[in-house]
């Protein structure tokens, strides 16, 4: 007898599998979706293992198979287990990442007749059993629901069980109908080919002009045409079609439509470019690793570090072409699909009709279609946001993560709280795929691994400049303290306002960038730029209006708000904060009659509105574009000659040890937006802390300068990559209770750390979380620091209300 270990779709299953017996008439494989009894329910499960012996003595039988083809290949089964173990997520949640969209459905039970034994005597049945038996003989198969309607629910269940026990009937299970059905559309064509004889059309020309027009139109088409298109082209009503169909002149077919997310774009196929030497040498390294991986060598992780415009994308494209040549396929991850339409177009253009695009804004039907087609091996390349790493791409040979430093690669809002980069590296290890991580401003942790030799570093130090010299833009750092001294209290320094006025007068365009997160939460001296920081954690202190105090969000250090600046004794110590709407207003007034466009998450709600705002700006319907993080992403706007950062300090002073890194990345990207066209360009960064290394390095486009300072800081304060952090957050409607539970957990952890004698583990906090109150609940955070967090935490019982985020990124 065989056994199966199954990940069951139930919240009660948590991180473990359950053992089942495989009935002799079922053939079960690893990765297959099955129905299993669980409590008194029948639930979905995925077979993860077929062991010789079950983990428990008593096992129930697998009730049925959902789909003969396994949904997960063995590599993905291992990946799911790794995600569950490492990120401490329920096993089925990890498995679910890899299942087709719309998979999670209920079971419907059907009853059918089985082989009736020769010596069977129908007279031995009770009247109710007889009733069901007769119906089964007539219909072959009946749904349990239907039987429950005829008898009662209880009776139907009893009678069916009795028949099954006697070997007269069997139950089988089917999924309830899928919610994301394939989409069908009516297609029209002429009923006869070659075309209709004139005598069929001529009489219509006078009395029924629309009918004649429709027939004429269809006669010109070589294939059936969608009804929606006919309606548009011919302008006739559906009744006209129906009349012609009744006359037998027109055929109506219902055909499946492919909901192609690229269909609203016109894609012109492109050819590979002749590479510049730096690109050539990067590509050659990747090519030889692809070859070696095919021969079974462990695949390499590459870090492709190249400034914006250095031709990284062209390297990705040619590396993918090589993988395809070797009979492999690729996955390309981008931080946020809706922000990178140009990148996607480039992939679609190089691999015409061989690119699938996956992202969460697709309708469920579109996602379902794409998933099935990917699994069937219809695409060379899958492009998508973070969850596309789980696309069922067969023969995976190359994984590309563009802008690998982006924080959107970490799923923090729901479990499993995975980091796409780490998942991809694990997947590559399991499948033998090569990975290319690309960035102009690599994550400090990634770069550290590249320096250590864990990853292979490839560099593209210069911009590719096909038409004319377009160096990286000039960056000017403006000291806002000096502006204040000179009596300028407006949002715009002399330099910035001069540059804007000049650009607008010359018919050029301007981008103003504002890092809106965390506004008005930190306190800064406007005279000397001093920011109050925690002495222990080095993160900026955050203002709490309730207690009128400054608080460290990591360790809970408190202090009153000072009246004077502790450094220069000035009274100009202020809460800094500014929103995009206010900036929009002031910009409009200061530079009237200029046209201003605002781009932030409030302004973009619809499906294509990112694109619409961009198109408007590109069509020069506005002179100035104001935006938050989004404007920093990979846009190519050749008419932009001035980029202004209104206040660089907002990002720098978030209570997060990565604030410096984040600011450097954003400023580098924002500065890279200027000077993309023949007009050249300049960037202006306004700040109260011009001496900060993140700002200095971004202004000089100097990654090495930034990295050296940042890695020293990380080493000194013992932050990643020299250790790992886990954020443990407890939420409750009662703040006091929340704090007490967090403190209790800290004691639990300490006791455990001591009894196991793990020197390397320590806790920070607890403290109110950065978002102390969220949707009516209070939140307290405890940070655990050390190198092996998951194995330690997996032994600790966490009551409901706790959330664990391993390797957290950003603020909790
Ligand atoms: P990145 O991805 O590093 O920002 P891109 O690949 O987008 O850089 O390249 C920037 C520009 O240079 C693009 O317009 C691209 O078409 C062009 N380009 C890239 N490589 C070459 C090359 N070898 N020869 C000519 N033009 C190139
Ligand atoms: Zn001061
Ligand atoms: Zn602190």
Cis peptide before 766 (omega within 30 of 0): yes
pLDDT band at 674 (very low <50, low <70, confident <90, very high): low
pLDDT tens per residue across span 420-456: 999 999 999 999 999 999 999 999 999 999 999 999 9
How far does residue 565's CA lie from ligand 2's centre (Å)? 5
CA distance 710 to 695: 12
CA distance 211 to 529: 78
Q: Is the CB of 403 under 6 A from ligand 1?
A: no
How far does residue 544's CA lie from ligand 2's centre (Å)? 21
- Which ligand number lies closest to the CA of residue 278? 1
Closest CA to 328 of 394, 375, 425, 424: 394
Beginning with the edge strand found earlier in the chain, give each strand of the sheet holding 329-333 in spatial order. Answer: 355-358, 381-384, 329-333, 396-402, 434-439, 301-306, 456-460
392 CB contacts (<8 Å, ≥6 apart)?
71, 73, 76, 98, 100, 371, 374, 375
Using an 8 Å Cβ cutoff, are 400 and 316 in contact?
yes
Residue 3 scores a pLDDT above 60:
yes
pLDDT tens per residue across span 480-509: 889 988 888 888 999 999 999 999 999 999
- Structure tokens that stand for 409 in this block: 């690669």
Q: Could you count the other beta carbons within 10 Å of the beta carbon of residue 535? A: 10
Q: Is the CB of 542 under 6 A from ligand 1?
A: no
Q: Is the CB of 211 under 6 A from ligand 1?
A: no
402 burial (CB, 10 Å; 0-12 / 13-18 / 19+) is: buried
How far does residue 726's CA lie from ligand 3's centre (Å)? 16
Residue 276 scores a pLDDT above 50:
yes
pLDDT tens per residue across span 151-171: 888 888 889 888 888 888 888
- Structure tokens that stand for 588 in this block: 């409009």
pLDDT tens per residue across span 589-624: 999 889 998 886 655 555 556 667 877 888 899 999
Q: Is the CB of 68 under 6 A from ligand 1?
A: no
Crossing angle of the two packed helices 74-87 and 420-431, in degrees rounded to 10: 140
Using an 8 Å Cβ cutoff, are 795 and 752 in contact?
yes
Pocket probe mutation, ligand 1, options 272, 309, 310, 340, max atoms within 8 Å of Cβ: 309
Q: Is the CB of 306 under 6 A from ligand 1?
A: yes
How far does residue 518's CA lie from ligand 2's centre (Å)? 21
CA distance 329 to 433: 9
How far does residue 482's CA lie from ligand 2's centre (Å)? 13
pLDDT band at 745 (very low <50, low <70, confident <90, very high): very high
Mean pLDDT confidence for 51-63: 90
How far does residue 668's CA lie from ligand 2's centre (Å)? 28
Q: Could you count the other beta carbons within 10 Å of the beta carbon of residue 495? A: 16
- Mean pLDDT for the chain overall: 86
Q: Is the CB of 672 under 6 A from ligand 1?
A: no
pLDDT at 180: 54
E-strand ranges in 352-395 read: 355-358, 381-384
Closest CA to 324 of 251, 425, 275, 394: 394
Using an 8 Å Cβ cutoff, are 456 and 322 in contact?
no
Residues paired with residue 560 on neighbouring β-strands, in sequence order: 549
pLDDT at 376: 94
CA distance 382 to 357: 6
pLDDT tens per residue across span 634-659: 466 778 889 899 888 877 877 788 98
Q: Three-class SS string for 656-693?
A: CCCHHHHHHHHHHHHHHHCCCCCCCCEEEEEECCCCCH
- Structure tokens that stand for 568 in this block: 């220069």
Mean pLDDT comparison of 532-546, 590-604, 682-696, highest-scoring range: 682-696
Closest CA to 727 of 806, 628, 780: 806
173 or 214, higher pLDDT? 214
Q: Is the CB of 669 under 6 A from ligand 1?
A: no
Residue 328 scores a pLDDT above 80:
yes
Using an 8 Å Cβ cutoff, are 285 and 302 in contact?
yes
- Torsion (CA) 805, 807, 810, 812 in degrees, nearest 10: 20
- Structure tokens that stand for 405 in this block: 């430093």
Crossing angle of the two packed helices 703-717 and 659-673, in degrees rounded to 10: 170
CA distance 239 to 484: 74
CA distance 161 to 166: 9
Using an 8 Å Cβ cutoff, are 72 and 371 in contact?
no
Closest CA to 514 of 615, 600, 607, 623: 600
Residue 518 scores a pLDDT above 60:
no
3-state secondary structure of 333: strand
Determine the straight-line distance between the first and last CA of the chain, rounded to whole angstroms: 49
pLDDT at 199: 72
Residue 726 scores a pLDDT above 60:
yes
Q: Which long-range contacts (CB under 8 A, 24 or more apart) does 256-264 make?
A: 256/182, 256/183, 256/184, 257/183, 257/184, 257/185, 257/226, 258/369, 259/183, 259/362, 259/363, 259/365, 259/366, 259/369, 260/366, 261/357, 261/359, 261/362, 261/366, 261/370, 262/344, 262/348, 262/355, 262/357
CA distance 169 to 161: 9
Q: Could you count the other beta carbons within 10 Å of the beta carbon of residue 691? A: 10
pLDDT at 519: 44
pLDDT at 185: 77
Using an 8 Å Cβ cutoff, are 56 and 21 in contact?
no
Mean pLDDT confidence for 217-246: 83
Element holding 348 (H helix, E strand): helix 341-350
Using an 8 Å Cβ cutoff, are 585 and 654 in contact?
no
pLDDT at 193: 62
Q: Is the CB of 668 under 6 A from ligand 1?
A: no
Whose C-alpha lies nearest to ligand 1, atom 9?
Answer: 311
How far does residue 490's CA lie from ligand 2's centre (Å)? 19
CA distance 95 to 34: 13
How far does residue 575's CA lie from ligand 2's centre (Å)? 13
Using an 8 Å Cβ cutoff, are 424 and 399 in contact?
yes
pLDDT at 687: 92
- Which ligand number lies closest to the CA of residue 531? 2
Mean pLDDT confidence for 361-372: 77
152 or 265, higher pLDDT? 152
Whose C-alpha lies nearest to ligand 1, atom 19?
Answer: 311
755 or 517, higher pLDDT? 755
pLDDT at 91: 96
pTM for the whole thing?
0.79
CA-to-CA dists, residue 234 to 240, 266, 686, angstroms: 11, 24, 59
- Which ligand number lies closest to the CA of residue 334? 1
Q: Could you count the other beta carbons within 10 Å of the beta carbon of residue 111? A: 23
How far does residue 720's CA lie from ligand 3's centre (Å)? 17
Cis peptide before 418 (omega within 30 of 0): no
pLDDT at 604: 56
pLDDT at 256: 67
Mean pLDDT confidence for 198-218: 80
pLDDT band at 632 (very low <50, low <70, confident <90, very high): low
pLDDT tens per residue across span 765-803: 899 888 787 777 899 999 999 999 999 999 999 999 999
Q: Is the CB of 273 under 6 A from ligand 1?
A: yes
pLDDT at 790: 96
Q: Looking at the CA of residue 276, tell me the nearest atom of ligand 1.
A: 23
Mean pLDDT confidence for 517-541: 74
Mean pLDDT comparison of 38-47, 54-63, 167-176, 314-323, highest-scoring range: 314-323
- Which ligand number lies closest to the CA of residue 672? 1
Residue with tokens 């063995």: 74
Q: Could you count the other beta carbons within 10 Å of the beta carbon of residue 161? A: 12
CA-to-CA dists, residue 339 to 267, 420, 439, 604, 635, angstroms: 18, 18, 16, 11, 8
Using an 8 Å Cβ cutoff, are 761 and 792 in contact?
yes
Q: Three-class SS string for 531-548?
A: ECECCCCCCECEEECCCC
Beginning with the edge strand found earlier in the chain, give each strand of the sheet holding 762-774 in spatial order. Answer: 762-774, 777-786, 724-732, 802-806
Q: Looking at the CA of residue 343, tell me the nearest atom of ligand 1.
A: 7
Residues with CB in 5 Å of ion ligand 2: 525, 527-528, 530, 565, 567-568, 570
pLDDT at 315: 98
CA distance 20 to 62: 6
CA distance 214 to 228: 13
Q: Looking at the CA of residue 308, tell me the nearest atom of ligand 1.
A: 4
How far does residue 638's CA lie from ligand 2's centre (Å)? 40
415 CB contacts (<8 Å, ≥6 apart)?
87, 89, 90, 93, 803
Q: Could you count the other beta carbons within 10 Å of the beta carbon of residue 661? A: 21
How far does residue 230's CA lie from ligand 2's centre (Å)? 72
How far does residue 321's CA lie from ligand 1's centre (Å)? 16
Number of residues assigned to the chain: 812
Q: Looking at the CA of residue 464, tell me the nearest atom of ligand 1.
A: 12
Pocket probe mutation, ligand 1, options 340, 466, 472, 632, max atoms within 8 Å of Cβ: 466
610 CB contacts (<8 Å, ≥6 apart)?
338, 339, 341, 599, 604, 630
Please state, for a pLDDT cut of 70, what percent of the chain lies above it.
90
CA-to-CA dists, residue 737 to 729, 734, 744, 779, angstroms: 13, 5, 10, 10
User: DSSP of 623-646, one letter per residue?
Assistant: SEEEESGGGGSS---TTEEEEEES
Q: Three-class SS string for 273-322?
A: CCCCHHHHHHHHHHHHHHHHHHCCCCCCEEEEEECCCCCHHHHHHHHHHH
Q: Is the CB of 164 under 6 A from ligand 1?
A: no
Q: Is the CB of 438 under 6 A from ligand 1?
A: no
CA distance 669 to 440: 8
- Structure tokens that stand for 678 in this block: 């023949």
Using an 8 Å Cβ cutoff, are 663 and 652 in contact?
yes
pLDDT at 562: 86
How far does residue 398's CA lie from ligand 1's centre (Å)? 20
Whose C-alpha lies nearest to ligand 1, atom 20?
Answer: 311
Q: Is the CB of 349 under 6 A from ligand 1?
A: no
């Amino acid at each position: 007898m065989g056994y199966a270990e199954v990940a069951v779709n139930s919240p009660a299953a948590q991180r473990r599998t359950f053992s089942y017996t495989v009935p002799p008439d079922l053939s079960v494989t690893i990765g297959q979706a099955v129905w299993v009894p669980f409590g008194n329910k029948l639930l979905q499960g995925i077979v993860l293992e077929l062991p010789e012996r079950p983990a428990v003595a008593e096992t129930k039988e697998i009730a049925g198979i959902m789909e003969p083809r396994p949904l997960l290949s063995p590599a993905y089964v291992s990946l799911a287990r790794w995600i569950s173990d490492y990120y401490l997520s329920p096993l089925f949640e990890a498995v679910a990442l890899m299942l087709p969209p719309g998979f999670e459905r209920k079971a419907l039970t059907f009853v059918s007749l089985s082989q009736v034994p020769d010596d069977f005597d129908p007279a031995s049945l009770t009247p109710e059993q007889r009733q069901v038996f007769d119906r089964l003989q007539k219909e072959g198969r009946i749904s349990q629901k239907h039987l429950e309607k005829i008898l009662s629910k209880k009776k139907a269940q009893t009678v069916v069980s009795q028949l099954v026990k006697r070997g007269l009937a069997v139950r089988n299970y089917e999924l309830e109908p899928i919610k994301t059905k394939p989409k069908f559309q009516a297609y029209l064509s002429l009923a006869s080919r070659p075309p209709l004889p004139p005598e069929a059309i001529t009489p219509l020309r006078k009395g029924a002009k629309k009918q004649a027009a429709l027939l004429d139109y269809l006669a010109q088409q070589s294939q059936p045409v969608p009804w929606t298109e006919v309606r548009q082209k011919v302008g006739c009503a559906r009744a006209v079609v129906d009349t012609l169909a009744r006359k037998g002149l027109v055929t109506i077919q219902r055909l499946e439509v492919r909901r192609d997310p690229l269909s609203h774009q016109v894609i012109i196929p492109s050819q590979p470019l002749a590479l510049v030497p730096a690109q050539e040498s990067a590509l050659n390294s990747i090519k030889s690793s692809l070859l070696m991986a095919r021969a079974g060598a462990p695949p390499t992780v590459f870090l492709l570090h190249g400034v914006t415009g250095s031709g990284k994308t062209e390297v990705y494209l040619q590396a993918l072409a090589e993988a395809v040549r070797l009979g492999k396929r690729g996955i390309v991850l981008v931080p946020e699909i809706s922000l990178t339409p140009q990148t996607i177009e480039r992939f679609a253009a190089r691999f015409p009709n061989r690119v699938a695009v996956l992202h969460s804004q697709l309708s469920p039907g579109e996602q379902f279609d794409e998933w099935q087609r990917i699994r069937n091996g219809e695409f060379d390349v899958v492009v998508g946001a973070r969850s596309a790493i789980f696309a069922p791409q067969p023969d995976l040979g190359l994984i590309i993560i563009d802008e690998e430093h982006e924080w959107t690669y970490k799923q923090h809002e729901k479990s499993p709280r995975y980091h796409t980069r780490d998942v991809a590296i694990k997947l590559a290890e399991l499948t033998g795929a090569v990975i290319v991580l690309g960035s102009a401003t690599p994550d400090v942790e990634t770069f550290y691994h590249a320096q250590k030799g864990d990853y292979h570093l490839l560099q593209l130090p210069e911009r590719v400049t096909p038409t004319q010299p377009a160096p990286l833009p000039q960056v000017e750092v403006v000291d806002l303290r000096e502006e204040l001294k000179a009596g300028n209290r407006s949002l715009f320094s002399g330099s910035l306002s001069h540059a804007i006025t000049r650009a607008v007068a010359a018919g050029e365009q301007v981008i103003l960038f504002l890092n809106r997160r965390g506004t008005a939460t930190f306190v800064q001296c406007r005279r000397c730029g001093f920011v109050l920081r925690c002495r222990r954690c080095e993160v900026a202190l955050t203002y709490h209006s309730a207690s009128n105090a400054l608080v460290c969000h990591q360790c809970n250090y408190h202090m009153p708000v000072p009246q004077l600046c502790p450094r220069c004794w000035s009274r100009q110590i202020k809460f800094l904060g500014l929103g995009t709407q206010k900036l929009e207003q002031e910009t409009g007034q200061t530079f009237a009659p200029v046209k201003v466009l605002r781009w932030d998450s409030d302004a973009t709600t619809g499906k294509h509105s990112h694109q619409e705002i961009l198109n408007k700006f590109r069509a020069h319907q506005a002179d100035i574009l104001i935006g938050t993080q989004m404007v920093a992403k990979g846009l190519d706007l050749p008419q932009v000659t001035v980029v202004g950062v209104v206040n660089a300090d907002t990002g720098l002073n978030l209570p997060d040890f990565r604030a410096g890194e984040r600011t450097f990345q954003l400023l580098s990207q924002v500065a890279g937006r200027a000077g993309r066209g023949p007009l050249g360009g300049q960037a202006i960064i306004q700040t109260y802390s011009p001496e900060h290394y993140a700002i200095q390095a971004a202004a000089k486009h100097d990654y090495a300068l930034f990295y050296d300072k940042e890695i020293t800081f990380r080493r000194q304060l013992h932050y990643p990559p020299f250790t790992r952090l886990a954020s443990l957050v407890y939420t409750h409607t009662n703040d006091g209770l929340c704090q007490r539970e967090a403190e209790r957990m800290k004691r639990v952890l300490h006791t455990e750390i001591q009894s196991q004698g793990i020197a390397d583990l320590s806790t920070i906090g607890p403290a109110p979380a950065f978002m102390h109150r969220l949707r009516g609940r209070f939140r307290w955070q405890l940070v655990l620091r050390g190198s092996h967090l998951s194995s330690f935490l997996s032994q600790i019982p966490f009551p409901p209300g706790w959330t664990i985020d391993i390797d957290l990124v950003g603020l909790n």
